Amino acid sequence: MERDINLTNKLVKFSKKIGIDIIGFANPEYFERYNKRNKPEHFLKDVKTIIVIGYHLFDQLLDVYSQNPRTGKSFQYADSILEDRGYQIKEFLSKQGFESEVISYNPGLYLKEAAAIAGIGPIGRNNLLLTEEFGSQVRLRALATNAPLVTGNPINESSYCVDCKICLEACPANAFSDGEYNRDRCLSYNQKNLKRISEFSEIWCNVCIESCPVYRKSKNSNA
């Protein structure tokens, strides 16, 4: 399949125009190892490209999650921004003659893995995507499209994490004490130690992100 470099460049330019900080393109062939409901074709049958977009969480307040137990309504600020940008990309590609679908969270793709497949960055010891510019301080969404965009080269190992265990040692939940990430331990700690912003709003633990030298370096360089 021939991939369209001109369309890819146009989309990258458009994404910057609408405020997207990170964009990458993944080949659906690399998602074969995942469950059927987490594969690109689950969302679009003739998918040719997975588009991964990201927004820099330059302020912790952007990662606030709000839920009103009385009404059941919930809202995550950064995700709402990305969802809107995703639909803008969908409209852009529609005008070029291509179909796209903004992928929901549940069921959805494994976003950090999709970003690594797209060549955006590796998954670090903190079990999160690491980007050169923003560290792990990013939120991601994805789209499936039949546009033949130029895809990146998958990144399977993190050069950032060689001989570095800062995030593992800083983790207040000891979620890495067994040598690999323990999701249940992390989740339990977060649920018991939510940072309350208001009656309905909270922020989860960010220690593994904030302690990461990649994040600190990128933060200082953008200051």
DSSP-derived secondary structure letter, 129: B
Please tell me the predicted confidence (pLDDT) of residue 61: 84
Please tell me the predicted confidence (pLDDT) of residue 221: 59
Domain span at residue 40?
Answer: 5-157
181 domain-assigned? no
d(CA 12, CA 149): 10
pLDDT tens digits for range 139-175: 999 999 999 999 999 999 999 999 999 999 999 999 9
Sorted by sequence, the CB contacts under 8 Å of residue 166 that are 6+ apart come out as 211, 212, 213
| Domain count across the chain | 1
40 domain-assigned? yes
Stated as kind and residue range, the H or E segment containing 113 is helix 111-117
74 domain-assigned? yes
d(CA 26, CA 117): 6
Q: What is the pTM of this model?
A: 0.92
3-class secondary-structure state, position 23: strand
43 domain-assigned? yes
CA distances from 201 to 29, 73, 206 (A): 39, 12, 16
Name the nearest CA neighbour of 26 among 144, 199, 122. 144
169 domain-assigned? no
Residues 98 and 42 sit within 8 Å (Cβ to Cβ): no
Question: Low-confidence residues of the chain, pLDDT below 70?
Answer: 218-223
Phi then psi for residue 201, to 5 deg, are -120, 145
Please tell me the number of Cα atoms within 13 Å of 27 on its side-chain side: 12
116 domain-assigned? yes
Phi then psi for residue 63, to 5 deg, are -100, 15
183 domain-assigned? no
Residues 212 and 137 sit within 8 Å (Cβ to Cβ): no
Please tell me the predicted confidence (pLDDT) of residue 91: 98
17 domain-assigned? yes
